[in-house]
Amino acid sequence: MRRPDLVPDCGNCAALCCVATSFEASDDFAFDKAAGVGCRYLMRDCRCAIHDELAVRGFPGCVAYDCYGAGPRATRAFTGTHDAEQRNEAFLVLRVVHELLWLLTEAAKLCPSSPDDVGAQLALEIEVLDAIARGPAPALLEVDLRPHRDAARALLRRVGVAIGDRRRAVLALGLAPRAPPPRP
C-alpha cells in the first residue's frame, strides 16, 4: 500500500500540475504550455474542463501524470502566506522529493537483508527526504535536489543488484521453478 502522503489528492490541491509545469505539443499534449501559466482548460475552481475527455482530446500525459501528493502538500504549505510563483517553485521541488520518497519506500519493501545494510541506508535517505518535505515552505526554494537524486539513484542500483543476486541464488539452489526446456 502506498504511503498516504504520497498519493495525489486533486480535491485538496490548487491544480499546481496545471499551472506550475510546462509541456510541449507532442503525442502526450495537444499544445504547448509554459510553466507558471494555467492550462487553457483550467477552470476557476481549480478543476479541468475536459477531465473526462483528456485522452481523446490529446492529453494522455495529463492522464498518466502523478504528483505523488506534492500538489496538496504545496497547496497547504503556501495557503495565504506566499505568492503563487513561490508556491509553484516549491511544488516542482516537492514533486521530485515525493517521487524519490515513493521510489525509495517501494524499494525498501523489496530490499532483502544484506551485509552492507542497504535497508538502513534507504531508511536514512527516506528520513532526510521526509524532513525536506515537512520543512518550512520557504526552505523548499533553497533545496539542491542533485545530491538527493544521486543518492536515490545509487541506492536503487544497489537494491536492484541485491534483488538480482537473491533471484540468481534462488534459481541456483533449485528453489524456484525454471522455465521448461524449449521444444525441439
pLDDT at 110 exceeding the cut of 50: yes
pLDDT at 14 exceeding the cut of 70: yes
Least confident of 75-89, 125-139, 163-177: 163-177
- Listing DSSP states for 76-128 in one string gives HHHTTTS-HHHHHHHHHHHHHHHHHHHHHHHHHHHPPP-TT-HHHHHHHHHHH
Q: How far apart are CA 128 and CA 133, in angstroms?
A: 9
**pLDDT tens-digit series, residues 64-88:** 999 999 999 999 998 876 688 999 9
Q: How far is CA 34 from CA 21, 38, 40, in A?
A: 7, 8, 11
pLDDT at 41 exceeding the cut of 60: yes
Q: How far apart are CA 62 and CA 81, in angstroms?
A: 28
pLDDT category of residue 180 using cuts at 50, 70 and 90: very low
* Residues 23, 33 contacting (CB under 8 angstroms): yes
Kindly state the average pLDDT of the residues 84-94.
94
Q: Tell me how far the alpha carbon of residue 115 is from its chain's centroid.
A: 29
Nearest to 162 by CA among 123, 127, 122, 126: 122
